Amino acid sequence: MILIKNGTIIDPSCKREEKGDLLIADGKIARIAPCGEIQEVGCEVIDATGMVVAPGLVDVHVHFRDPGFTYKEDIDTGAQAALQGGFTSVVLMANTKPVVDNEETLDYILEKGKNTPIHVYSCASVSKGLQGKELVDMALLYSKGAAGFTDDGIPLLDVDILEQAFVKAASIGVPVSLHEENPALISNNGVNSDIAQKKFGIGGSPREAEIDLIARDLDIALKIGVILDVQHISTKEGVELVRQARQKSTKIHAEATPHHFSLTQEAVVEHGTLAKMNPPLRLEEDRQAIIAGIQDGTIDIIATDHAPHSVEEKSKPLTEAPSGIIGLETALSLGITNLVDTGKVSMMQLLACMSCNPAKMYGLNAGNLAIDSTADVVIFDPKAQWTVEKFASKSSNSPFAGNKLTGVIKYTIVNGNVYPVR
């Protein structure tokens, strides 16, 4: 048994926030009680004085690059990065090599995930080979364990295919998660067109590319009644479109990344390719709109889009380097530093976006501290500071390296197994 003493227990799934003790037995949450009421005899004791005890974090948008690109990351190293970040459950994207459009690849990922300390889930692709031309057998892949469906990184442009996917997903009751950028409007991806032209003399990715597809896809999703996840939203107009859609349907969801609520396009000037990502960092007004969207519940999920790349790849010129940054190990701290400590978002709101909300959308057994639920817990000091230096990930492509952040994770607990962090 494990007794976590004297912590501030925050469980956004039931709006619990109180000082108390939490007992874990046989890998389950056994009891929550006022401080001192649970006997310590026979228990491994963790003193959580001054710390928050919360459900293990859930990230529904990560790239572990396995199979096919394991020089960047693999399922084992990705799981270690997740542990360091307080994440106990992750959902992998389907753009591996081969693509997760078949039983064999899906089974490989899920079986390898079972041998890691965390819970590893995976989406399957919407279209075969990410080509956007032919649907995968969604019913079959869902029956084999696919958590949802996405062609993440490659927008679905064929409306007929998109509608077919929505109809099928709606009949199964699973989410479709979409990368919303129209490539026809993009000259060079990964950099906002404003800064791309002003500072680098190149074309970039205009905000209209995102707005165009979000508007189209929300309209279709509302008509069909599918569970839709608008991934890594980056524009104020996109936030407003989602806000209006969520007033019409509870099946509409939106993700924000820590980098989109923490940084603006100016970071590309400072950090170069380390701040290149799809969709790109945009203006301060967009960053503030994203924060406002988290505040009012328009954006109900914070997901990292953890996207490892090698040093060699990120050392290429801006127009040639791949987009994406790692994010698992800094996500919670960025939320505390830039949302909670600034008074914009409560700790309860932040944790809801990082635990119960994403778990609920994907139907995962995660994101709560209910009695008899799996003991997936994160314990962190919300006031302590640390400097971003070494990463458990194979990759280190982060614009936050060297930054001092608030919020230090002390323990990540998965299935009742305790993993000390910092």
Distance CA 420, CA 422 (A): 6
β-sheet with 119-122: strand ranges across:
57-62, 87-92, 119-122
Distance CA 393, CA 303 (A): 17
Burial class for 34, CB neighbours closer than 10 Å (0-12, 13-18, 19+): exposed
Four-point Cα dihedral 410, 416, 419, 422, nearest 10: 0
Distance CA 356, CA 89 (A): 11
Q: 146 and 199 in contact (C-beta within 8 Å)? A: no
Note the Cα 231 to chain centre separation in Å: 9
Residues counted in the chain: 422
Catalytic residue among 11, 151, 305, 376: 305
Is residue 381 annotated as part of the catalytic site, yes or no? no
Burial class for 81, CB neighbours closer than 10 Å (0-12, 13-18, 19+): buried
Positions marked catalytic: 305
